[in-house]
Amino acid sequence: MQNNPLLSSWAGRFGEVPFDQIRTEHFRPAFDEALAEARRNLAALRDDPAKPDFENTVVRLETLTEKLDRCSGVFFNMVGAEADESMHALAREISPLMAEFGNDLSLDPKVFARIKAVYDSRSSLKLTPEQSMLLEKSYKSFVRNGAMLDEKDKARLRELDAERAKLKPMFSQNVLKATYARDFWVTSEADLAGIPESARDIAREAAKAKGRGSDWLFTLEAPSYIAVVTYSSRRSFREEMWRAFSSKALGGPNDNREILKRIAVLRHERARLLGYDTHAHYVLEERMARVPGTVQEFIDKLWKRSRPVAEKELSELQSLARRLDGITELKPWDVGYYMEKLKQEKFDLDDEALRPYFPLDRVVQGAFEHARRLYGLEFRQVEGVATYHPDVKVYQVMDSHDERFIGLFYTDFFPRNTKKGGAWMTQFRDQGLMGGEIRRPHVSIVCNFTPPAGGRPSLLTHDEVRTLFHEFGHALHGLLSDCTYRSVGGTNVYWDFVELPSQVMENWTEQKESLDLFARHFESGEGIPAELARKIRESSRFMAGWYCLRQLAFAELDLAWHSSDPSEIGDVEAFEERVLERTRVLPKEPGTATSPAFSHIFDGGYSAGYYSYKWAEVLDADAFEYFKEHGLFDREVAAKFRREILSKGGSEHPSELYRRFRGRDPDPEALIRRDFG
């Protein structure tokens, strides 16, 4: 295709993606050309008669797929954030092509021989720490992707990867379709009892969009669903929504059970083929935890501390439900509702009363102000940069000390039926070597926050504020990367370390000194009262046992799918019931399951790694104690965090980076102190 914008030079002032020029029909030809170029580059590397060295082999391998990386960076981000059925169909075509090329590269014996020759002579090469890490990562990537297998096993590996590449987009699309498969209509205002006005306004506008302006429409989108299960005093409505949400992609036309079981089986067979006991052993070889046993010990330790706390918390909820409404048996759809009631009783704190102090635009500016005070960054909104949706805003990020360009930052905050659920950070361009130059990154955060409604701006819950700061922490990790090579820069780190920069940022949202920078009433401009800020801080560990146990349940389920042979698993519900028995404090409800919509592990990158969230909480609790000891915005501590953590990416081992930041290994008791006192 002539003049394909995915293949031509991007002439914008930041070299940004020309979204206004890209059409769905551009992607397949662009991938075909980019793959062909990558294959030509691969052949040239394979047949190079020169003696292998770091530059002509390792660096060449690093830059071999630049055009392909650019195409896939746009396409797969769009599949998550702005995709219709034609894009999803393309994903089912393109994913296997990418997997096939990946195998052609990693299974090429001549290319591996070149990499191995450099790796074997590494002690005499006088490499920098980053170069050493790139070499080690490149070598291990070949070994871990079958380079040392015989031809028969290589052929089988290709089959496994091709099938996996087809199944992952199918899983993702089923979750998305299941999310929007159900509409929950309310025709009487009396049936809205308890639901906040902000959520009612959103539901009214959703109904208007479907031609029923006198009714209210609720969906399984996060803001809509959470509003019902947290506030609706109509117990039957909470149950209906909870059951629908908890059975997404479980049965019906979007059933994911056979797909996820097959994904698990393929992963296990692949790991065994490569010489590992299980998929978990394969994954954890490149994690701080190293082996499944360490993860299990970590889960067990937290389980022992959190289980009795969670049982006590549940007992409080049960007593409250009995006292207020005569409910003798608490159900899962009651937990969020009475949790909110209990929070109001204990702390005199209503999450809805906080919303007016968290207009989205002010919260975003608050995050930017934190980045300025901590790291000297300036975020300046720019016009004239094309985006893929009108909701998306773009910012130029500068170093305020020397006006150096740091990167481009995109934000995309509101739900729509072309976007998958959840919140994530991603990149359209990684920081590092590309086109012969060290390029600055183009970073994006994508969320599903409460949209504007009823003439009011988007007003966030405190949980949404925390989510924004979390994803912004990931963004800072990408933006502040200062590496030479893309594959070891930014967030390309061990996955049980990657959550440190994000989770540590959440801590600032609970501090009065931080809230004063952005928490202002959207109408009066009044700052958040000291009493409300105090209540936020005091309630920050409310139901800590319950929430910890919930995260451990996800981690335990993930580990169960991936630390043994899954081929014998028949009934997904029965399997989950057995695995989650010790982390369950309420009876299992029939007809519900987590796995069919567990995108983190079956579509995302967290398979055998969901424990990373809790693991990184140890790091973030310990790191934030360091900030508190010296001051929330202490420039010296912040400079060390930027220098040793944010700028280094994965260019060195995370344990070494953390020791240089903190002066010691992380204190495992920091999380216990923070959550349980």
Task: Confirm whether 552 is domain-assigned.
Answer: no
Residue 337, classed as helix, strand or coil, is helix
Of 207, 229, 245, the position where a domain reaches its end is 245
Q: Which pTM was predicted?
A: 0.93
Are residues 91 and 136 both part of a single domain?
A: yes
Are residues 499 and 362 both part of a single domain?
A: yes
Are residues 139 and 193 both part of a single domain?
A: no
Q: What pLDDT digit, counting tens, does each position of 379-429 carry? A: 999 999 999 999 999 999 999 999 999 999 999 999 999 999 999 999 999
Are residues 530 and 657 both part of a single domain?
A: yes
The tokens for 513 are 């000194």
Least confident of 2-6, 64-68, 141-145: 2-6
Are residues 188 and 52 both part of a single domain?
A: no
Are residues 127 and 185 both part of a single domain?
A: no
Are residues 409 and 486 both part of a single domain?
A: yes
Residue 350 confidence (pLDDT): 87
> Which residue blocks in 246-330 are alpha helix, DSSP H?
257-273, 279-284, 292-325
What is the CATH classification number for the domain harbouring 89?
1.20.1050.40
Contact (Cβ atoms closer than 8 angstroms) between residue 440 and residue 406: yes
Whole-angstrom Cα distance, residue 358 to residue 348? Answer: 18
Residues spanned by the domain of 94? 19-148
Residue 666 confidence (pLDDT): 95
Q: What pLDDT digit, counting tens, does each position of 92-110 carry? A: 999 999 999 999 999 999 9
Are residues 122 and 218 both part of a single domain?
A: no
What is the CATH classification number for the domain harbouring 653?
1.10.1370.40
Task: Confirm whether 372 is domain-assigned.
Answer: yes
Tell me the percentage of the chain whose pLDDT exceeds 90: 96
Active site residue 85: no
Residue 239 confidence (pLDDT): 98
pLDDT of residue 3 exceeding 90, the answer is no
Task: Confirm whether 625 is domain-assigned.
Answer: yes
Task: Confirm whether 550 is domain-assigned.
Answer: no
Q: Which is the catalytic residue, given 130, 221, 464, 471? A: 471
pLDDT of residue 321 exceeding 80, the answer is yes
Of 245, 272, 299, the position where a domain reaches its end is 245
Least confident of 347-356, 435-444, 577-586: 347-356
pLDDT mean over 114-142: 97
Whole-angstrom Cα distance, residue 95 to residue 75? Answer: 11
Task: Confirm whether 670 is domain-assigned.
Answer: yes
Residue 677 confidence (pLDDT): 73
Largest CA distance in the chain: 82
pLDDT category of residue 2 using cuts at 50, 70 and 90: low
CB atoms within 10 A of CB 405: 11
pLDDT mean over 524-535: 95
Tell me the percentage of the chain whose pLDDT exceeds 70: 100
Whole-angstrom Cα distance, residue 287 to residue 611? Answer: 11
Tell me what the pLDDT averaged over the chain comes to. Answer: 96
Torsion-angle region of residue 349: left (phi > 0), alpha (psi -120 to 50) or beta? beta
Are residues 367 and 413 both part of a single domain?
A: yes
Residue 272 sits at φ, ψ, to 5 deg, of -60, -40
Torsion-angle region of residue 182: left (phi > 0), alpha (psi -120 to 50) or beta? beta
pLDDT of residue 1 exceeding 60, the answer is no
pLDDT category of residue 285 using cuts at 50, 70 and 90: very high
Residue 457 confidence (pLDDT): 96
Residues ≥6 apart with Cβ < 8 Å to 557: 576, 579, 580, 594, 595, 598, 610
pLDDT category of residue 491 using cuts at 50, 70 and 90: very high
pLDDT mean over 266-285: 98
Of 203, 226, 245, the position where a domain reaches its end is 245
Residues ≥6 apart with Cβ < 8 Å to 317: 330, 334, 335, 338, 339, 342
Are residues 516 and 380 both part of a single domain?
A: yes
Residue 369 confidence (pLDDT): 98
Task: Confirm whether 292 is domain-assigned.
Answer: no
Residue 318 confidence (pLDDT): 98
Contact (Cβ atoms closer than 8 angstroms) between residue 286 and residue 191: no
Q: How far is CA 642 from the centre of its chain?
A: 21
Task: Confirm whether 175 is domain-assigned.
Answer: no
Are residues 144 and 186 both part of a single domain?
A: no
The structural domain count of the chain equals 3
pLDDT mean over 61-89: 96
Q: What pLDDT digit, counting tens, does each position of 182-215 carry? A: 999 999 999 999 999 999 999 999 999 999 999 9
Q: How far is CA 206 from the centre of its chain?
A: 27
Task: Confirm whether 143 is domain-assigned.
Answer: yes
Are residues 142 and 184 both part of a single domain?
A: no
Residue 620, classed as helix, strand or coil, is helix
